[in-house]
Amino acid sequence: MREKKSEALTDPQSWAALQAEIAACCRCPRLVAWREGVAQRKVARFREQTYWGRAVPGFGDPQARLWVIGLAPAAHGGNRTGRVFTGDPSGDWLFRALYRAGFANQPISLHREDGLQLRDCYISAVVRCAPPDNRPSAPEAKACLSYLKRELELLAQVRVILALGHFAFRYTLALLPPLRPRPRFGHNCVVPLGEGRYLLTSYHPSRRNTATQRLTEAMLDAVFERALQLLSPSPPSNPLIEF
């Protein structure tokens, strides 16, 4: 019975239906107005491009064992290109690291037709619309949480959930059974979830964090090295745990 359920959940039609529903989402009036306004105003360097201007679905391998969760699409990144972490500096950092770790076939992510493929990795965001000042409200995050829950159901093979930043960490915890004691956020820390699953945490590769070197490329590489260790047949017996 479990195998049949897994097959049903990973059916391409299930993924296509969820992605179409996300792209059509208009649950949050403030975010809808902002994302559409940005798509109309644009910025000078992208004024010849047609912006996506909608909610942004997840992207990657439906059979992934690694699930990466970010904050929200960037106004002139995912909100422009229609693909999460694509066309903005945060995505540049993320996909270079994914490429170096073997999860991506190329280190760049420019637009939806650039040939990028993810291997054993799926990428989502807590909030699916670009928010003003990159700051979604708590009600807006909660309105999107059902999409993460459905992705978790569809990602039947997932073993490592990587939360990029405290915001993603907070709402990833909301997807999971209560953990006691409640974990605290820290960079490159691991929380065992049982049944061979782990929650892994990292600083977000935002421009603010990378420009100040709070997060370096070596630090981000170390996170994906940790993910590979956790996905190995013999994960480390004493992962770094933060409570």
Per-residue pLDDT of the chain (243 residues; tens, 9 = 90+): 223 334 444 678 999 999 999 999 999 999 999 999 999 999 999 999 999 999 999 999 999 999 999 999 999 999 999 999 999 999 999 999 999 999 999 999 999 999 999 999 999 999 999 999 999 999 999 999 999 999 999 999 999 999 999 999 999 999 999 998 999 999 999 999 999 999 999 999 999 999 999 999 999 999 999 999 999 987 766 555 544
The residue assigned the tokens 């529903």 is 21
- DSSP E strands in 165-208: the ranges are 190-194, 197-202
pLDDT given at position 238: 58
- Which is nearest to 52 in space by CA: 75, 30, 18? 75
Q: What is the pTM of this model?
A: 0.93
Pick from 158, 126, 172: nearest CA to 9: 158
Report the alpha-carbon distance of residue 184 to residue 28 in Å, rounded: 29
Confidence at residue 240, expressed as pLDDT on a 0 to 100 scale: 56
Confidence (pLDDT) at 10: 60
Q: Could you give the CA distance from residue 218 to residue 141 in angstroms, rounded to a whole number?
A: 30
E-assigned strand segments in 84-226: 121-125, 160-164, 190-194, 197-202
* pLDDT value, residue 12: 82
Backbone φ and ψ for 118, nearest 5 degrees, come out as: -105, 140
In sequence order, the β-bridge partners of residue 160 are 66, 198
* Whole-number pLDDT of residue 241: 55
End-to-end CA distance of the chain: 36
Q: Which residues pair with 123 in a beta bridge?
A: 59, 68
DSSP-derived 3-state class of residue 197: strand
- Four-CA torsion 17, 73, 104, 195, nearest 10 degrees: -70
Q: Reduced to 3 states, what is the DSSP secondary structure of residue 68?
A: strand
pLDDT at 132: 97
The per-residue pLDDT for 235 is: 73
Of 64, 184, 168, nearest to 118 by C-alpha is 64
